[in-house]
């Protein structure tokens, strides 16, 4: 007879990217309002910045659905058909990754000008605001800094719980009822910490009949966020 451990197969994580899947608190309300009000961007362009895991890609997909626009990674621009891409709204993700890459910067510069000249909207995302991108084309850098923008901050307490819940849901995990409150009170207030502990819990729960429960969460937390590994980790309450 096949046992439970043999059936414990890792399932792919599939992020839910609809507007209803994005939880709004004070930490992201301004950014969400600007994305939903895209028709009113005064310069026709907008910069959405924030740390990894803060929801930039999620909001980019929300925006693409609202506008019928396309999403393209900045690193893919040198091989993209820029005139065709500029025939509608465009979101370019991870702009900071092309700093110093002349061909990619020039492609973005041309895309920027063509999109706006055609009366369409341009959304740009990055981990930091434009002043910190370090683009080597002065005209592109100045155009980027001239865009209206909003920055997603690290999560507040309310948002952190929602982020942890969504990360579990994306991995098709239903944790015990006390796991999310336990983690939200203890892990560092960052998206990266939430992603890391959920990823490890997913892996550690494979083959365990009780799944992700409080004892497992406690063991993973104690091993992951010890003072030796993370001096500024919050003390368990």
pTM of this prediction?
Answer: 0.72
pLDDT at 58 over 90: no
Using alpha carbons only, what angle is made at residue 189 by residues 28 and 237, rounded to the nearest 5 degrees?
Answer: 135
Give the per-residue pLDDT at 223: 87
Cα-Cα-Cα-Cα dihedral of 5, 197, 225, 26, to 10°?
Answer: -160
Q: Mention every residue, 6+ apart, whose C-beta is less than 8 A from residue 24.
A: 32
What is the pLDDT averaged over residues 31-59? 92
Q: Which two tokens stand for residue 210?
A: 């009780």
CATH code of 19-151, in short, is 3.40.50.300
b/e sequence 172-201, b meaning 16+ C-beta within 10 Å: ebebeeebbebbbebbbbbbebbebbbeeb
Per-residue model confidence as pLDDT tens digits over 102-154: 999 999 999 999 999 999 999 999 999 999 999 999 999 999 999 999 999 88
Question: For the chain, what are the domain ranges?
Answer: 19-151, 155-224
Q: Say if domain 155-224 classifies as CATH 3.90.320.
A: no
> What does the pLDDT look like over 219-229, one tens digit per residue?
999 988 764 44
pLDDT of 71 higher than 90: yes
């Amino acid at each position: 007879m096949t046992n439970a451990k043999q059936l414990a197969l890792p399932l792919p994580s599939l992020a839910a990217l609809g507007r209803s899947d994005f939880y709004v608190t004070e930490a992201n309300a301004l950014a969400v309002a600007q994305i939903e009000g895209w028709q009113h961007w005064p310069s026709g362009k907008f910069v959405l910045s924030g740390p990894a895991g803060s929801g930039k890609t999620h909001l980019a997909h929300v925006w693409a659905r609202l506008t019928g626009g396309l999403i393209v990674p900045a690193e893919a621009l040198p091989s993209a058909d820029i005139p065709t891409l500029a025939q509608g709204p465009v979101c370019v993700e991870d702009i900071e990754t092309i700093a110093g890459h002349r061909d990619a910067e020039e492609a973005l510069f041309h895309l920027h000008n063509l999109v706006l000249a055609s009366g369409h909207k341009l959304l740009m995302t990055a981990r930091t605001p434009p002043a910190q991108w370090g683009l080597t084309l002065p005209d592109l850098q100045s155009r980027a800094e001239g865009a209206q923008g909003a920055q997603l901050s690290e999560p507040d307490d309310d948002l952190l719980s929602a982020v942890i819940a969504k990360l579990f849901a994306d991995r098709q995990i239903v944790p015990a009822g006390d796991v999310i409150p336990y983690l939200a009170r203890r892990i560092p207030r960052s998206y990266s910490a939430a992603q890391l502990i959920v990823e490890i819990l997913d892996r550690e729960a494979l083959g365990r009949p009780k799944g992700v429960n409080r004892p497992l969460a406690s063991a993973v937390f104690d091993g992951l966020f010890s003072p030796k590994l993370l001096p500024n980790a919050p003390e368990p309450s």
